[in-house]
Structure 1
Amino acid sequence: MSTRPNTTLSVAVTVEQLWQPSPGGSGTYIRELTEALALRDDITLLGVGARHPSAPPDPWGLPSDLRLHLSRLPRVALYESWNTLRFPRAAPRAEHIDVLHATTWAIPPRTAPLVVTVHDLAFLREPAHFTARGNAFFRRALDIVRREADMVIAVSEATRADCLRAGIEPERVRVVHHGATVPDVPVTAVRAFRARHNLVRPYVFWCGTAEPRKNLEGLLAAYALVVASGNELDLVLAGPVGWGDASARLAQAAAALPAARVHRLGILSESDLHAGYAGASVFCFPSHWEGFGLPVLEAMSHGVPVVTSRGTAMAEICGTGALLADAADPVELARAIISAATDRHDALAANARVQAAAFTWQRCAAETTAAYRAAADRAGLSA
């Protein structure tokens, strides 16, 4: 019997990622999705995590009224136990749960219809970027998804295609795009940000983790051509150091550019990050691939013209608010950056806001709720 649209579903959702030192895009997804789901009258939520003495630290908070069930096991032990032993349960036996939602690759045992969000399958694309232990964990998790998931939420068509290639049947995979929530940034905050970081010229902004797939070398090569053209744009890079030799190669490439023109800011506070977006002339995000590419949507939400990679998940969401280029072609990237900053700037900025407005967490929550109902129906259960 199928679930009725107006029936309230009790959903246990994993929120452990929010206690990570750097929750990243997955953390943003969990925080924003749970807030949007908590506003719905057809969903009741139970947050599931490992043992912790307190709630997640700010700014990675959960809805204030969200009930939590924390395991007696710490994170590493809980994840390994779920991954290998399929134990313990995510929720107490006495708790009625209609649907279980694993928001990352940490997947509790299937004690109710199971929904799993797949952000990407990076470990299949680039296994060298992960430890042997990490690769083993992710591959076991993928096997669990194949066996147990009633519904898979892919965050983009590109990720859906990867899921199908990994052997998950099409009827079990739904695309649910992220939303974007960005604060209004007053002009005074942008001025203060620029003053703190000595940004006296217009700038191209990039943010993320310095790792090989982000193609920072390609961005620096393109930026060198922008400088050689006589353009006055600076380059501002924000975010943590990643893995591999990306940071060392980035430093080497940056050393060939005028020192005063490349600004490496490291990890920014949330307020400074959004001031960095809002003050940019162009946001350039030339990754070779992403599961979704949330920074692109955030930049467009601020009305900033975007240059990003053709044929990727980012291209799905850009519409006419961005210019697409071959990520492997610095000449094409440079031309797009200059065009986005000059002759195409105003039109792209206006289109960016309009395009980004269609991607809301409320829509994400509605489509996620539909995936919950589909999972329950697929499992042959009535909510």
Structure 2
Amino acid sequence: MNLPPPGPLTVSLVVEQLWQPVPGGSGTYVRELVAALSSVDGVAPVGVRARGGHGHAGLPDDLPLFSSALPRPLLYEAWSRARLPRVPGPRPDVVHATTWAVPRRSAPLVVTVHDLAFRRAPEHFTPRGVRFFERALRVVRGEADVVVVPSHATAADCTAAGIEPDRVRVIPHGVRHDDVGPDRTRAFRSRHGLTRPYVFWCGAVEPRKNVATLLDAFARIVGQTDLDLVIAGPDGWGDAPRDVRNRLAELPAGRVHALGAVPWSELQEAYAAARVFCFPSLWEGFGMPVLEAQAHGVPVVTSRDTSMAEIGGEGVVLVDPTDADALAEALVVAHGERHDALAGAARANAAGYTWHRSAAAHVDAYRAAAGAAR
């Protein structure tokens, strides 16, 4: 492969995800990657978005932003079905589709595939959503010069879906956290009436997050330990939010605290004040909350045979996420006999995941795409 000569590559990144009602983990990836690229030599990033986005949505203020003439629904459909239009703004050296919204290939194309959950559990998505993802997957197979994935678990799914392994690059995300001191954790506890140590969970309440099993596990230990349960995040879709509310009503009053959606600064306080973080998701492309909790030195209980097991290092207790008894036992272990060892291993593991390192690997991927001449 002949790589292009050294020099900054202009890369048009699709940043439209940040104007979605709930940007989610993909939004975190877009925001942190773009910010980190500014500190890496060899790339000149620009952002592209649909018509109607206002402000920078947390992106660097000096990032050039170019808007399509089409609003989001029409732009996504045009890219998906007609493969038109090309990205707005000056013609770049590389186009980077950071989610399944994949523009026309008007320059060497890099696509980030976060996961193929729609193939693993299509029942967790609307039929329309599955059709959109399948069309995007066909585009990636046919047009992408480089496919970036955050984990080996997602890489294996991509190759099983027909993407050649030599086009796939595993580039883990980084993790950013706020140093939270004792004064802030005390204030957080006081605001929310938290007088006992607690298990923490965060995310959008949707089927694959498996919150119901966590509640079943907590019900088994609530009378045996001093642990409370704190959950934070917005309602997702499907029956999961209603199911979770019903199960919450069956637990002892005062032992479960549902905070709803919280701002980033308060999320950091919730992590830092937790005794244990539990993330029993059935499947994730990466599982960022695992690293976020570890960065605060919090032991993690999470799902074996998933990307979370892959990235968690020695700071996790791994269980079958569908087994409430095993999950309950793991919570007791992480709270008790193994807590201090797990906490130290968690912090050390998270320190190895930086956005600067991730951004530098992305620049290598951009150069590979620019030199691929597919």
Q: Tell me the TM-score range normalised by the shorter chain.
A: over 0.9
Q: In the alignment, is the contact (CA less than 8 A) between 1:305 and 1:321 conserved in 2?
A: yes
> What secondary structure, in the 3-state scheme, does the structure 2 residue paired with 1:323 have?
strand
Match of 1:272 among 242, 266, 274: 266
Change (3 A) 1:85 1:7: same
1:316 match: 310
Unaligned ranges ≥5, structure 1 = none
> What secondary structure, in the 3-state scheme, does the structure 1 residue paired with 2:70 have?
coil
Separation in structure 2 between the aligned mates of residue 247 and residue 35 of structure 1, nearest angstrom: 33
Separation in structure 2 between the aligned mates of residue 191 and residue 127 of structure 1, nearest angstrom: 43
Q: In the alignment, is the contact (CA less than 8 A) between 1:308 and 1:323 conserved in 2?
A: yes
1:67 match: 64
Change (3 A) 1:200 1:91: same
1:87 match: 84
1:145 match: 140
Matched, 1:221 2:216: yes
Change (3 A) 1:159 1:53: closer
Q: TM-score, normalised by structure 2?
A: 0.97
Separation in structure 1 between the aligned mates of residue 108 and residue 346 of structure 2, nearest angstrom: 38
Please state how far the C-alpha of 1:218 moved relative to its aligned partner.
1.2
Change (3 A) 1:53 1:29: closer
Separation in structure 2 between the aligned mates of residue 256 and residue 13 of structure 1, nearest angstrom: 46
Q: In the alignment, is the contact (CA less than 8 A) between 2:117 and 2:283 conserved in 1?
A: no
Please state how far the C-alpha of 1:53 moved relative to its aligned partner.
5.5
Matched, 1:77 2:74: yes
1:133 match: 128
Aligned length: 374
Change (3 A) 1:53 1:4: closer
Q: In the alignment, is the contact (CA less than 8 A) between 2:124 and 2:208 conserved in 1?
A: no
2:169 match: 174
Separation in structure 1 between the aligned mates of residue 4 and residue 100 of structure 2, nearest angstrom: 29
> What secondary structure, in the 3-state scheme, does the structure 2 residue paired with 1:72 have?
strand
Separation in structure 2 between the aligned mates of residue 264 and residue 28 of structure 1, nearest angstrom: 23
Separation in structure 2 between the aligned mates of residue 156 and residue 178 of structure 1, nearest angstrom: 9
Separation in structure 1 between the aligned mates of residue 369 and residue 16 of structure 2, nearest angstrom: 22
Separation in structure 2 between the aligned mates of residue 10 and residue 378 of structure 1, nearest angstrom: 16
Please state how far the C-alpha of 1:247 moved relative to its aligned partner.
1.7
State the Cα deviation string for residues 332-352 of structure 1 (Å, max 9, x = none).
211211111111111111111
**Correspondence 1:302-341 to 2 at 5 A:** 302-341=296-335
Please state how far the C-alpha of 1:253 moved relative to its aligned partner.
2.2
Q: In the alignment, is the contact (CA less than 8 A) between 2:175 and 2:354 conserved in 1?
A: yes
> Percent identity at matched positions?
58
2:26 match: 26
Q: In the alignment, is the contact (CA less than 8 A) between 1:110 and 1:148 conserved in 2?
A: yes
Equivalent AA in structure 2 for residue 372 of structure 1: Y
Q: In the alignment, is the contact (CA less than 8 A) between 1:277 and 1:304 conserved in 2?
A: yes
Separation in structure 1 between the aligned mates of residue 83 and residue 72 of structure 2, nearest angstrom: 15
Q: In the alignment, is the contact (CA less than 8 A) between 2:40 and 2:356 conserved in 1?
A: no
Equivalent AA in structure 2 for residue 55 of structure 1: G
State the Cα deviation string for residues 102-161 of structure 1 (Å, max 9, x = none).
000001100111000001112212222222322221111111001100110111111111
> What secondary structure, in the 3-state scheme, does the structure 2 residue paired with 1:247 have?
helix
Runs of 4+ in structure 1 deviating by more than 3 angstroms, as ranges, are none
2:344 match: 350
> What secondary structure, in the 3-state scheme, does the structure 1 residue paired with 2:11 have?
strand
Matched, 1:232 2:232: no
2:356 match: 362
Worse overlay, 336-345 or 356-365: 336-345
Unaligned ranges ≥5, structure 2 = none
State the Cα deviation string for residues 279-314 of structure 1 (Å, max 9, x = none).
000000011111111000100011111110111000
Match of 1:163 among 142, 145, 158: 158
Please state how far the C-alpha of 1:321 moved relative to its aligned partner.
1.0
2:12 match: 12
**Correspondence 1:283-294 to 2 at 5 A:** 283-294=277-288
State the Cα deviation string for residues 179-213 of structure 1 (Å, max 9, x = none).
10011112111111111111111000000111111
Worse overlay, 181-190 or 281-290: 181-190
Q: In the alignment, is the contact (CA less than 8 A) between 1:19 and 1:56 conserved in 2?
A: no
Superposition CA RMSD, Å:
1.4
Worse overlay, 29-38 or 5-14: 5-14
1:192 match: 187
Worse overlay, 82-91 or 298-307: 82-91
Please state how far the C-alpha of 1:244 moved relative to its aligned partner.
1.6
Change (3 A) 1:276 1:79: same
> What secondary structure, in the 3-state scheme, does the structure 1 residue paired with 2:254 have?
helix
Equivalent AA in structure 1 for residue 35 of structure 2: E
Separation in structure 1 between the aligned mates of residue 333 and residue 125 of structure 2, nearest angstrom: 37
